[in-house]
Amino acid sequence: MSERWARTFLTAYRFAGAAAYPLIGPYVAWRTSRGKEDRIRRRERYGIAGRERPDGPVIWIHAASVGETIAVVPLVESILDYGVNIVLTTGTVTSAQVADERLGDRIIHQYVPLDLKPAVSRFLDHWRPDLAIIAESEIWPMTILELGARRVPQVLVNGRLSDRSFKSWKKRANIAEALFENLAHVVAQSDVDGERFLSLGARPVTVSGNLKVDTTPPPADERTLYTLKRQLGARPTWAAISTHDGEEVVAAEVHAMLHKRHHGLLTIVVPRHPDRAEALAAQISGMGLKVARRSKGDRITADTDILLGDTMGEMGLYLRLTEIAFVGRSLTSEGGQNPLEPAMLDTAVLAGRNVQNFRETYQRLLDSGGAKLVRDRDMLAGAVNFLLSNEVARHEMMAAGAATVDEMRGALALTLKSLEPYIQPLVVKSRLKGANGR
C-alpha cells in the first residue's frame, strides 16, 4: 500500500465514517452493544454535551476503562494543580464511577463519543479542547484525524502496543504512519513500546515507565475488611484475581487438591467480569464446593470453600485478605492482567506464562523474585502449596514484589516533563484570562 493511497484512504474515512474502515465499523457496533452505558447519559456517546464548557483553556484527557482511569488520576491531579480545566472522558459506567470517587467535581466527566465523524465533531465543537491527552492504546482514526484537522496537539501517554495490535498495524504500516504523524508526542510505557511506536511513524517518542506504578494501592472499606477478617479467623487463604474463562475452574480444582493438606483453606476467586458470577457459582458448586458470593453478602462460614468476589471496585479488599495472588488471563487466556496492585499490597504474585501485555512489569518482578510463572494447573497447585507451607519464602517474595514496585516509580514525573511544553502555554493563558477578568 503506497503512502499516497493511505492518505487518500484516511481522507475518505474522515468523511465517510466508520463504514470506510473495516477494523473500526465492527468495533463501533461492539461498543454500542456492550451494555456498559449509562442510559441517562447516552447522548454523550453521540457528542452531545451534558455540561457547559467552562471559560479558559480546556484539556481533554481520555482513559478507556477502570485500569486506565486509575492510572491517569495522579496525572489529572497534577495538571489540576496548574489551574487548567479538565474534561475527562471514559468508556464505561464503572470507570465513570472511579472518576467520580477519586476526582469528584474537580473535573468534568463525559462519556467518550463514538469514533464517528458526527459524534466526534459535536464533541469537539462544544468543548474546543486546547490539548488532547490519550491514555495507553486508544488509537481511534476518526478522533485523531479530526483533532489533527483542528490543529489540536495530541499526546499519547502511558502508550502501549500489544503484540497483536502491533502486528495488525504493521500490516497497514502506511495507514499507521499517516495516523500517528498527527500525534504531537508519544510517551511510551517501555522501550519495546517506544520502538514499536517509532517503527509505525510516531515522532517524537519518549519512554516514561508505567503510570500505574505511581498510583496508590486500591482502597478497601475498613469496616468491611474487619468483618471479613473476623469471619476468616486464622484460616489460610490464597486468591485468583482478574480471572478469565476457565481459570476459575482451575482455581477451584487447585482448592480441591490442597484443602486437606491446609486445613481450613479458603480460596478467593475474583473474576475479571463479575457478570459471569451466576454461572460460575453454579459451576463451582457442582464440583462439590461451598461458595459464598460477596455480591449477595454471604457470610464466610467454617465450611465455605470459595469466596466469589463478584463485585466491582473491591480488589483492594480481596487482596488484603491474602498474601498469595494468582493473576489471571495468563493461563487459559492470553495477554495477562496487571500484577502491580497485588505487588503493591505485599502479595506474592503468581501467573501463567501468557503475560505479553505486561511483559516488562513481569520481567522486573521475576528478576527480583517477587513473582513466579506457572505453566498449568498442577504447577499452580505446587506453587500455592509451597507458599502456604513456607512462611519465610512467602514473605521474602512479598517483600521483593513491593520493593520492585518502589524501584519502578517515576513515570508520573517523566510524563509531566514531556507534557510541559503543551501545558505551560495553557497555564499562562489561564492566568492571563483570570487577571483580565478581575
Q: Let me know how many helices (H) and strands (E) the chain has, helices first.
A: 18, 14
How far apart are alpha carbons 156 and 211 in whole angstroms? 12
- Degrees to nearest 5, angle at CA 102 with 96 and 104: 75
Tell me the chain's radius of gyration from C-alpha atoms.
23
Which is the catalytic residue, given 68, 146, 177, 248? 68
Cell of 160: 502501549
How far apart are alpha carbons 335 and 181 in whole angstroms? 28
68 classed as catalytic: yes
Q: Which residues contact 424 (CB under 8 A, 6 or more apart)?
A: none
Q: Are strands 324-327 and 237-243 parallel, antiparallel or unpaired?
A: parallel
How far apart are alpha carbons 64 and 138 in whole angstroms? 7
- The residue assigned the cell 513466579 is 372
The residue type of 426 is L
How far apart are alpha carbons 79 and 189 in whole angstroms? 20
The residue type of 185 is H
Q: What does the chain come to in residues?
A: 438
Query: Around Cβ 51, how many Cβ atoms within 10 Å?
Result: 12
Of residues 185, 165, 188, the one with CA closest to residue 176 = 165
How far apart are alpha carbons 116 and 403 in whole angstroms? 45
- 3-state SS, residue 29: helix
- The residue assigned the cell 456498559 is 36
Describe the crossing of helices 66-80 and 93-103 by its angle, rounded to 10 degrees: 30
User: What are the helix (H) ranges across 159-215?
Assistant: 163-170, 173-180, 191-199
Query: Residue 209 in contact with residue 308, Cβ under 8 Å?
Result: no
Q: Are strands 324-327 and 348-351 parallel, antiparallel or unpaired?
A: parallel
Q: How far is CA 429 from the centre of its chain?
A: 33
Q: Which residues are catalytic?
A: 68
